[in-house]
């Protein structure tokens, strides 16, 4: 079940970049959720190529067609099948990939493992698969909205340009006002310029996305091997180009003493809160009612419009240079993917918590 | 199945810190593996309390008793059940925890989620559970040895003291020569001194463990939702006190351009290799034959021999100060745990790769 | 994951009887299997409505559209997504089902469980879903063919008319020569006549399908909770209208002594065989190299063209009489479904056996 | 995970017949269930050897030792680990089994599949493993009691002696008054005599156990591939010596017309009921509020105190005759096992229904 994500709320995905369609099945979605299909499409549009000047100019409509599981506007508890047709394929751009392996792509490993691959546009290993996740995430978001849980992701670093304040310092309503999806307009402009500069040289750049989940109640997460933060880490690391994950003060808290890092409890207006939140809202793998926040680091896009050394399927050394239309930086389009994976993870834990509630 | 780790080779664990015993069941272990029980015990000894002056002075024999699944020295393909009796419990040290929640521990979240908890020594949330993982990891290591796969973890940072060279610069045979398990003797001494200093103040400290897996063949890992690096990240994040994970150049490569970060392919003595290895031996979620390496960051131990603010089960603010015998720093004892989780993860992918091999 | 079948080779299905499409995703199918799409379609045609005078006259093209996972005629190891469009829907035949529950159908239980249902044509609970299984089964059959495993199902009883000889007495090449799919032409004629008679009164009838799997090698099956016969039973009981399952001499051997029922071992031309095969080719949940055979009993179709007492969603007693086009007997169309479920089950165990083979 | 039973409430078992201990881990059990350990032991006693003159005279104390997951008399939501020590082993009775395969036992298939086996007393394939299921079932029964669900199994047939009335005709309080566990005292006496007669000749005999579950509310069961009756069938077929399963009127209803077999709905005192219950309380894989009932057929015990032809590991034909102490008929001891598996299955569906309840 390597193409399935989740325990109770499960998304199974299929599809190659240049095949007929990509799609998915959501199993375990409870009945009774009102599905606003325009919201689902709006989420897809946030990930869609061609949405701004700093992403790939490919034009994919990315229109989702729901095939089952929704009746008279509501989920029915039966599996939700859906497809997204592939349309704007320039497969000829990829003919050279039939026998040549792109550096830091999955061409070589897929070919070696499976003995065959759909090489066009990266096939199954293409980030095009993440469009399917957006649909699953949109359904999960709709369900979480009724539970008042809010999930917000944003670009916090591109190359060396980074936000320097804690997330609380920023106005999240500004995130969608710029193409990099950064809540700090000044930083956003610098990031955008950096992406443009990098692209001019045929090069690419990576960065960090921060995600915050608010109003998650205490008790979501299933120790020992399904801890909330481990599931979030697993979700993030499943996204193409992700190289690392941390939550709370993570790697940045490595030099602190326990007395500096611990989150002491106090009562505030009758509620249990922590004075600090270095734990990122999670203790022992279970949410503690504070904000959940975490970081995900993305490597630079591996596809370069520059010459690179590589080998081909005959074991001969050769030179490769990408053709076609590519993203110089994935982060702007990855923000909604991070949110989608977070939404599915959290909603799954909500359902697990129902199943594991005390008698 | 929140207490089970793995897909084919599965470890299910049970047990509380101060209960009668902890233990586990390994299901899906192939028949025919020779089990050197002295090796298993030796691995347990690397994690055992009381092994050096910089860890907790608790004395637990941590002797494993195998109950099934091994016959005449070999695994039989049936489940391997085993227990480790708890012996040196000072439960009275924990009587105050019945109603008071330790900051940055799981007391509050467990109590809220389950409505009941074995508070003694942290109960199920205690890192004592990791002794069971060592047993599963030892069996996996024995199996991987026959496949020539080598796994080595070491302490690469304690507080602000860190190794500055790539892992290749160090002699791994020195790791077990010092109590912090660091391959650089000078750094090890500084780390050890830092831990001693921190302990004197009743405080604690965290750090980073690096792990390297060598000779993993190309083809281990199952995209999309069971990528090798995501499974490793999930495994690491399941360990108590872990706050983050990255692989390859991870967070440290965030400022690089694609042209600096990509790993170009070349032929060396008839084998496909990469000129660099920023990918950490994994591309598209599948091993590529190069070294796999990753980092895991541990927070400082949450148990302090200092006063801290907290609340109790009645919602009253109070002060807590730990009694008993505690680790000032978990990393020395966590090194074998990182190896064990890595071994189980890799062996599981070996078995998955067998199941998914082309017809 | 209630809509997924299998452990390694997994079919996830979606779709309602009168929705846009039904479909599925096959995950875990090994790369390198040549997919003869005409064979897949031919299998679908064996289940298709309208194929003979004794089944429903509905006309569904039941054409499968593969969307992914197959490249240049071969499986690639990535998920195989596919859909079958619904075409010949007379949803108006079902308008009365919006609020009225058909006896011995799932209308009442779905409505009570989910609070909502697509009532048209039975929605998700319709046997239309089994068309998706045919596709999964066809892929599994193609894979099993390369392993020389042969699966044959046939109608062995309709109402009180039954085959009286062991399966070895019949010529399986005759099965597809008559519309009931029975290898005994005389019995087939009687069965066909019985079905016609029953239909004239607006009534329905059930029966038994026998299935035989030949050339399954010793060693498929995973005790304790994934025994080969338990998995086959689970597979059969998942088919609409099935009420029971037995294997080997099953219920019919209940009066035998152990000395009459045991299968003694002998050597025949250097091979281990059993003198009898009351065990149905399975001992301890693992295939033993002899023929695997089992029976599946189907109840009469619940949809009657007769008045029946029932209730509606307001809790009022009422009378219902089906409209539309229905099968008087499901067995002729269920024969390929039994084969498909058997094929998927066996191929899954082949893959599991690879994963669990001794080191 | 072939040694795990269940989806949410999961029992993983381990242990061989003549090993140190058998045992299990229950994961996913909700917190807050009061565990009456004397009830658990009483259930074990119902399965224990030596309890009457018609079962094996082996003496196993079968005392369960709980190791975790229960605190101050209640479940805590953490895994419940437990062991049962093996005590009365006459392993020397089995020395001849090292190389000789017992007919209709799993010796040959285990040896061929795994290349090694603990041959003593049947090792892992022994029905001794079912003692572990009794413990899991007892916990599930305690949980179901608080939901008012009652599960009762009884022997309804031994050889050719069978109960001829529907289960409603019998007084279940008489079941435990005779050693065969049959609610009809006259039939019970005949069954007991038959078992004694069969034993005198060194032979064995099988039969049928009927099980009834009352007060299961509407809505338990998860279509399509986790239907309530399919899960029950799978559970029953996992029990040693079981050859078949049916529910409702099952195989016995094969000759009925739809008009005879359908269960029409009526209102009774404001509740929806069915006039008949040929469906066995399940429609579309979901409980409908009526009694759930089903049958499980057991073959005669394969171990005979008679000479049988067989082969050995060298492929030589030979004669085998069992030594030791064996059951002439498993049904009396299997009644509590059927109940235990039913209890675990139903409680699991209760938890699944919580997870899948409408938003």
End-to-end CA distance of chain D: 31
Please judge whether A77 and D31 are an interchain contact, meaning their C-beta atoms are less than 8 angstroms apart.
Answer: no
List, as residue ranges, the binding site of D for NADP(+): 47
Q: Which residues of chain D have a CB within 8 Å of the CB of A33?
A: 359
Q: Which residue of B has its CA nearest to A308?
A: B264
- Which pLDDT value is given to residue B97? 84
Does A336 belong to an annotated binding site?
no
DSSP H/E element including C92: none
Please judge whether A67 and C20 are an interchain contact, meaning their C-beta atoms are less than 8 angstroms apart.
Answer: yes
Does A146 belong to an annotated binding site?
no
Does A241 belong to an annotated binding site?
yes
The pair of structure tokens assigned to D305 is 């105190």
Please judge whether B205 and A301 are an interchain contact, meaning their C-beta atoms are less than 8 angstroms apart.
Answer: no
Does B302 belong to an annotated binding site?
yes
pLDDT tens column, B40-70: 999 999 999 889 888 888 878 899 999 999 9
- Which CATH superfamily, name and number, covers C4-355? Chorismate synthase AroC (3.60.150.10)
Average pLDDT of chain D, as a whole number: 96
Q: Which residues of chain B have a CB within 8 Å of the CB of C358?
A: 30-32, 77
Give Cα A70 distance to the centre of its chain: 25
Please judge whether D4 and B3 are an interchain contact, meaning their C-beta atoms are less than 8 angstroms apart.
Answer: no
Evaluate whether A202 touches A304 at the Cβ level (below 8 Å): yes
- Which pLDDT value is given to residue D101? 96
Please judge whether A355 and D359 are an interchain contact, meaning their C-beta atoms are less than 8 angstroms apart.
Answer: no
Distance from the Cα of B61 to chain C's closest Cα (Å) equals 32
Does C48 belong to an annotated binding site?
no
Distance from the Cα of B302 to chain D's closest Cα (Å) equals 22
Does C214 belong to an annotated binding site?
no
Q: Which residues of chain B have a CB within 8 Å of the CB of A355?
A: none
Q: Which residues of chain C have a CB within 8 Å of the CB of B32?
A: 358-359
DSSP H/E element including B82: strand B80-85
pLDDT-flagged residues of chain C (< 50): none
Distance from the Cα of B274 to chain A's closest Cα (Å) equals 8
Q: Which residues of chain A have a CB within 8 Å of the CB of D227?
A: none
Q: Which residues of chain C have a CB within 8 Å of the CB of A22?
A: 67-68, 81
Confidence band of A216 (pLDDT split at 50, 70, 90): very high
Q: What is the DSSP string of A228-273?
A: HHHHHHHHHHTSTTEEEEEETTGGGGTT-BHHHH---EEEETTEEE
Does B81 belong to an annotated binding site?
no
- Residues of A near C (CB-CB distance < 8 A)? 1-4, 10, 12-16, 19-25, 27-28, 31-32, 65-69, 71-72, 74, 76-81, 83, 113-118, 123-124
Backbone dihedral region for residue A2 (phi beyond 0: left; psi -120 to 50: alpha; all else: beta): alpha
Q: Nearest CB to A238: which of B227, B287, B315?
A: B227
Distance from the Cα of D168 to chain B's closest Cα (Å) equals 38
Please judge whether B112 and A263 are an interchain contact, meaning their C-beta atoms are less than 8 angstroms apart.
Answer: no
CA–CA gap between residue C60 and residue C42 (Å, rounded): 14
Q: Which residues of chain B have a CB within 8 Å of the CB of A136?
A: none
Q: Nearest CB to B16: which of D74, D78, D118?
A: D78
Q: Which residues of chain A have a CB within 8 Å of the CB of D358?
A: 30-32, 77
Q: Nearest CB to A259: which of B109, B203, B288?
A: B203
Please judge whether A354 and D354 are an interchain contact, meaning their C-beta atoms are less than 8 angstroms apart.
Answer: yes
Distance from the Cα of B118 to chain D's closest Cα (Å) equals 6
Backbone dihedral region for residue A303 (phi beyond 0: left; psi -120 to 50: alpha; all else: beta): beta
Q: Which residue of B has its CA nearest to C223?
A: B78
Q: Give the number of C-alpha atoms closer than 13 A to the C-alpha of residue C292, restricted to the C-beta side.
A: 32
Touching subunits for chain B (3+ Cβ pairs under 8 A): A, C, D
Confidence band of A61 (pLDDT split at 50, 70, 90): confident
Instruction: Of B68, D148, C76, C10, give the one whose Cα is nearest residue A3.
Output: C10
Burial category of B166 from C-beta neighbours within 10 Å (exposed 0-12, middle 13-18, buried 19 and up): exposed
Touching subunits for chain A (3+ Cβ pairs under 8 A): B, C, D
Please judge whether A247 and B244 are an interchain contact, meaning their C-beta atoms are less than 8 angstroms apart.
Answer: yes
Q: Nearest CB to C253: which of D105, D229, D243?
A: D243
CA–CA gap between residue A149 and residue A354 (Å, rounded): 16
B90: pLDDT strictly greater than 80:
no
CA–CA gap between residue C115 and residue C108 (Å, rounded): 10
Give the start-to-end residue ranges of the domains of chain C: 4-355
Q: Which residues of C48-78 are buried (b: 16+ CB within 10 A; e: fewer)?
A: bbeeeebbbebebebebebbbbbbeebbbbb
Q: What is the DSSP string of B131-160?
A: HHHHHHHHHHHHHHHTTT-EEEEEEEEETT
Distance from the Cα of A83 to chain C's closest Cα (Å) equals 9
B112: pLDDT strictly greater than 70:
yes
Please judge whether A264 and B309 are an interchain contact, meaning their C-beta atoms are less than 8 angstroms apart.
Answer: yes
Please judge whether A358 and D143 are an interchain contact, meaning their C-beta atoms are less than 8 angstroms apart.
Answer: no
Instruction: Of A215, A217, A344, A348, give the one whose Cα is nearest residue A288.
Output: A217
% of chain A surpassing 90 pLDDT: 91
Evaluate whether D249 touches D278 at the Cβ level (below 8 Å): yes
Please judge whether C4 and D261 are an interchain contact, meaning their C-beta atoms are less than 8 angstroms apart.
Answer: no
Q: Which residues of chain B have a CB within 8 Å of the CB of D85?
A: none
CA–CA gap between residue C171 and residue C193 (Å, rounded): 21
Instruction: Of C223, C355, B82, C231, give the one whose Cα is nearest residue D122.
Output: C223
Q: Which residue of C has its CA nearest to A25?
A: C14
Lowest average pLDDT, out of A47-61, A287-301, C17-31, goes to: A47-61
Distance from the Cα of A63 to chain C's closest Cα (Å) equals 16
- Residues of D near A (CB-CB distance < 8 A)? 8, 28, 30-33, 77, 143, 146, 351-352, 354-359
% of chain D surpassing 90 pLDDT: 91
β-pairing, D64-66 vs D70-71, is: unpaired
Distance from the Cα of C89 to chain A's closest Cα (Å) equals 15
B227: pLDDT strictly greater than 70:
yes
Evaluate whether D258 touches C204 at the Cβ level (below 8 Å): yes
Q: Nearest CB to A76: which of C27, C32, C114?
A: C114
Does B340 belong to an annotated binding site?
no
Touching subunits for chain C (3+ Cβ pairs under 8 A): A, B, D
Q: Chain C interface, mutation test: which of A6, A11, A23, A70, most C Cβ atoms within 10 Å?
A: A23
- Which pLDDT value is given to residue D57? 85
**Which value does ipTM take for this structure?**
0.98
Q: Which residues of chain B have a CB within 8 Å of the CB of C359?
A: 30-33, 143, 146
Please judge whether A12 and C4 are an interchain contact, meaning their C-beta atoms are less than 8 angstroms apart.
Answer: yes
Q: Which residues of chain A have a CB within 8 Å of the CB of C71?
A: 16, 116-118, 123
Mean pLDDT, residues D56-73 taken together: 92
- Which pLDDT value is given to residue B207? 98
Does B255 belong to an annotated binding site?
no
């Amino acid at each position: 079940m390597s193409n399935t994500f989740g325990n109770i709320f499960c998304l199974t995905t299929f599809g190659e970049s240049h095949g007929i369609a990509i799609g998915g099945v959501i199993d375990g979605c409870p009945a009774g959720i009102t599905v606003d299909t325009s919201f689902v499409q709006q989420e897809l549009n946030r990930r869609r190529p061609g949405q701004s000047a700093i992403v790939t100019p490919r034009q994919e409509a990315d229109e989702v067609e729901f095939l089952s599981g929704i009746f008279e506007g509501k989920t029915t508890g039966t599996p939700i099948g859906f497809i997204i047709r592939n349309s704007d394929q320039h497969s000829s751009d990829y003919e050279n990939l039939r026998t040549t392996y792109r550096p830091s792509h999955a061409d070589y490993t897929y070919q070696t493992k499976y003995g065959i691959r759909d090489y066009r546009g990266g096939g199954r290993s293409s980030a095009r698969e993440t469009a399917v996740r957006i649909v699953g995430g949109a359904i999960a978001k709709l369900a979480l909205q009724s539970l008042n849980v809010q999930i917000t992701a944003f670009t916090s670093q591109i190359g060396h340009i980074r936000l320097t304040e804690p997330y609380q310092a920023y106005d999240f309503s500004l995130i969608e006002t710029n193409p990099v999806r950064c809540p700090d307009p000044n930083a956003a402009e610098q990031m955008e310029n950096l992406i443009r500069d990098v692209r001019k040289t045929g090069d690419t750049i990576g960065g960090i996305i921060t995600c915050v989940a608010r109003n998650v109640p205490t008790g979501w997460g299933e120790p020992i091997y399904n801890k909330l933060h481990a599931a979030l880490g697993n979700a993030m690391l499943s996204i193409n180009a992700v190289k690392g994950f941390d939550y709370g003060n993570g790697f940045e808290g490595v030099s602190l003493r326990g007395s500096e890092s611990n989150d002491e409890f106090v009562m505030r207006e009758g509620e249990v809160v922590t004075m600090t939140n270095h734990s990122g809202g999670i203790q022992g793998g279970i949410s503690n009612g504070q904000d959940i926040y975490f970081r995900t680091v993305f490597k630079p896009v591996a596809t370069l419009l520059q010459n690179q050394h590589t080998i081909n399927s005959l074991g001969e050394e050769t030179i490769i240079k990408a053709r076609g239309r590519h993203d110089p930086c994935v982060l702007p389009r990855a923000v909604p993917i991070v949110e989608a994976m977070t939404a599915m993870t959290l909603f799954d834990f909500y359902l697990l918590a129902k199943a594991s509630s005390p008698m």
